[in-house]
Structure 1
Amino acid sequence: MAGRFGFSSSAPSSMIVTNTPSQDLALSNLAFCSASDLQKFAAPGSNDLFLALVGDSLVYSLAYPFRIFRPCILMLTAHESIRSGHIALNSIQRRCVKVSAAESISVSRFIPPDNFSLAVLTLELDFIKRGSRSEQIDAVLLAKQLKKRFRNQVMTAGQKVLFEYHGNNYYFSVSQAVVEGEEKSNSLERGMMSDDTYIIFETSRETGIKIINQREAATSNIFKQKEFNLQSLGIGGLSAEFADIFRRAFASRVFPPSVTSKLGIKHVKGMLLYGPPGTGKTLMARQIGKILNGKEPKIVNGPEVLSKFVGETEKNVRDLFADAEQDQRTKGDESDLHVIIFDEIDAICKSRGSTRDGTGVHDSIVNQLLTKIDGVESLNNVLLIGMTNRKDMLDEALLRPGRLEVQVEISLPDENGRLQILQIHTNKMKENSFLAPDVNLQELAARTKNYSGAELEGVVKSAVSYALNRQLSLDDLTKQVEEENIKVTMEDFLNALQEVIPAFGASTDDLERCRLHGMVDCGDRHKHIYQRAMLLVEQVKVSKGSPLVTCLLEGTSGSGKTALAATVGIDSDFPYVKIVSAESMIGLHESTKCAKIIKIFEDAYKSPLSVIVLDDIERLLEYVPIGPRFSNLISQTLLVLLKRLPPKGKKLLVIGTTSELLFLDSIGFCDTFSVTYHVPTLNTNDAKKVLEQLNVFAPEDIDAAAEALNDVSLVTSLLGFICLIVSLILEMPIKKLYMLIEMAAQGEHGGSAEAIYSGKEKIKISHFYDCLQDVVRV
Structure 2
Amino acid sequence: MTIRMQAARCPTDELSLTNCAVISDKETQFEQHVIVRNSTHKYVFTLRTHQSVMPGSIAFSLPQRKWAGLSIGQEVEVTNYKFDKSRHCISTMMVEIDFLQKKNVDSNPYDSDKMAGEFIQHFNNQAFSVGQQLVFSFCDKLFGLLIKDIEAMDPSILKGEHAAGKKEKIEIGLLLGNSHVIFEKSETSSMTLIGKAKTRESRQSIISPDWNFERMGIGGLDKEFSDIFRRAFASRVFPPDIVEQMVMSVSQLWGFTKLLLPASNTVEVNIETAEKLLVSRLDFMASLNNDIKPAFGTNQEDYASYIMNGIIRWGDPVSAVLEDGELLVQQTKNSDRTPLVSVLLEGPPNSGKTALAAKISEDSQFPFIKICSPDKMIGHSEIAKCQAIKKIFEDAYKSQLSCVVVDDIERLLDYVPIGPRFSNLVLQALLVLLKKPPPKGRKLLIIGTTSRKDVLQEMEMLDAFSTTIHIPNISRGEQLVEALELLGSFQEKERASIAKAVKDKSLWIGIKKLLMLIEMAVQMDPDHRVSKFLSLLKDEGALGSDKFVAI
TM-score (normalised: structure 2): 0.46
The structure showing larger relative contact order (alpha-carbon pairs under 8 Å, at least 6 residues apart) is 2
If the length of structure 1 is used for normalisation, what is the TM-score? 0.33
